[in-house]
Structures are given as C-alpha cells and as structure tokens.
Structure 1
Amino acid sequence: MQVILIQDVDSLGQASELVRVKNGYARNYLIPQKFAVEANPSNLKQMEERLKVKAKKEAAMMAQIKQVINALQDGAIKIGAKSGTSGKIFGSVTPLQIARAVKDQKGYEIDRKRISIVDEVKELGTYKASIDFGGGNVAEMEFEVVGE
C-alpha cells in the first residue's frame, strides 16, 4: 500500500514523502496515529499543493537570509568592552554581546546560539564570527572590540 507521510517517521521517511508499506502497518499504525494518509488522487493533489506553497516560502526565506548575510558582511560591528591600559579586556566577548550589537547597529535579530566566534577574544581589535542560518547558509562577519 502506498501512503503519504504527514510527519517524519524514523527509518521510513520524511514528511510529504510517498512510501510503500505493508497494508497492516499502514492500516493499524501509520494512519490511526496520524503519521500518514492513504495515497489516493485527492491526497496526492493536496500534497503537491502543500509542496508548492512550501517551496514559495523557502524561496522567500532564502532571499531574506541573503539580504541579512549581505548586510552583516558590509562593515564591521563595534562592541564596547572595558579594558586595561595594555589593551586587554576584562572578561571576553560572548555571542550574546554580538547578537545585541547586531540588533542595535544593523537592525537584525539573530539568535545567540547560531553565532560562533572564530578566535578567543581577550584584547581590543578586530575579530571574526560566523553565523549559521541553517540549510548551509553561513555568514562570516567582522566585529571590532573597542574600549569603553
């Protein structure tokens, strides 16, 4: 029996995928648990429509991600930190500070968990951070640590 998966099922497939399973597995487990629906013409047509809508949303999201990546790569962000006379800062710069600086200076809100700092930041100067937007979209951005 062919079924259309409504949600991801381990060792079977991803959502919106057409799979062939045994009749009993489909009737007794997948369909009652709302993991799948029978692959009849109307359900196949609905699946195609959902995939078209999903593709449009992903295209719009990719365009927005590209816009954010271009804005982040256009000029360094300045982050203030307290420092001593030798240029060493007290503490270090964290992804949370970078996320706040991006929001204040560029106007984009980025989750701090997506930001990773390439080098350890212990002195004033220019450093690099990478931001993972998912789906293979990674932006390298520069930030400058300046004394307060």
Structure 2
Amino acid sequence: MKVILRTGVANLGEAGDLKEVTGGFARNFLLPRKLAYPASKAAEKQVAEEHQANERRTVKEHRTQLELASKLKDVSLTLQVTVGSEEQLYGSVSERDIVTALAAEYQIELEAKAIKIEEPIKQLGVYKVPVRLSSEVESTITVWVVKNSG
C-alpha cells in the first residue's frame, strides 16, 4: 500500500515522502496514529508542489544569507567599554553585546548564537569575529574594543 508520510517516521522516511508499506503496517500503525495518509494522485501532486515550494524557499533563504554574509564582511563595529587599571575591561564583551551593536549601528538583526566567539573578549583591541548564518554560510566581522572616553 502506498502512503504519504505526514511526519518523519524512524527507519521509514521524512514528512512528505511517498512510501510503499504493507497493508497491515499502514492500517494498524501509520493511519491510526495519523503519521501518514493513503496515497492518491491528488495527494501525490500536492506533495510534489510542497516539495517544489520548499525547494524555492530554501534557495531564497540561502541567497539572502549569502547577501547578508557579503554585507557582514564590510562591517567594522566599535564597542566602547569601561576599563580599569592596566586597560583591563570591567566585565567582558559577549555575543549579545555584538548583536546589540550590529542592530543599533547597521540595522542587522542576528541571533546571539550566530556569533561565534571562543571566549568572551576581556582586553582592548581589534578582533575578527566569525558569524555563522547557517551550516553552509559563514562570514567575519571586525570588532574594535576601545576605551570609553567618558
């Protein structure tokens, strides 16, 4: 019996996959639990259209991420921080500080988890900070940590 999966099923497939399963497995497991529905020409056509729409959406998102990555390469952020004796920062510069500065200065909205600092910045200086927009798209921004003049 051919079925179309509504959700991912272990050892069978992902949502939207068209699978050939035994009649008993479909009637006793997949259909009662609403994990799949019987395949028909109309349902197969709808699944194909959804796959195409998902593919277009993925390509569009990837293109948007590439454009954002090229913008980020030109970004140079200046963060003014309060320092104590020996130019040591009070606290540190974290991912959240960088995200806030990006939003304020360049109107670029990112999640803090996209910024990949290995450890919080605790010294004045210039840092190259990697930004991971997706598993395939990365960029780097320049962050200047300078003493607050106030």
Q: Normalising by structure 2, what TM-score?
A: 0.87
Residues 1:6 and 2:6 are matched in the alignment = yes
Q: Answer whether contact 1:119 1:127 (CA < 8 A) is retained.
A: no
For 2:51, the aligned partner's letter is: L
Q: Gaps (5+ residues) in structure 1?
A: none
Residues 1:50 and 2:50 are matched in the alignment = yes
Deviations 1:49-76 (A, max 9, x none): 1111111211221121112111111132
Deviations 1:86-136 (A, max 9, x none): 322111111110110111112111111222204541111111222222242
Three-state SS of the structure 1 residue aligned to 2:49 is helix
Shift of 1:39: 2.2
Between the aligned partners of 1:138 and 1:57, the Cα distance in structure 2 is 19
In the alignment, what sits opposite 1:29? 29
Residues 1:80 and 2:84 are matched in the alignment = no
Three-state SS of the structure 1 residue aligned to 2:92 is coil
Between the aligned partners of 1:126 and 1:147, the Cα distance in structure 2 is 12
Three-state SS of the structure 2 residue aligned to 1:117 is coil
Provide closer, same or farther for how the CA distance between residues 58 and 21 of structure 1 changes in structure 2, counting only shifts above 3 A.
Answer: same
Between the aligned partners of 1:17 and 1:89, the Cα distance in structure 2 is 54
1:1-148 matched pairs, under 5 angstroms: 1-118=1-118, 120-148=120-148
Between the aligned partners of 2:16 and 2:133, the Cα distance in structure 1 is 23
For 1:146, the aligned partner's letter is: V
For 1:121, the aligned partner's letter is: I
Q: Answer whether contact 2:69 2:133 (CA < 8 A) is retained.
A: no
Q: Percent identity at matched positions?
A: 28
Output the aligned Cα RMSD: 1.8
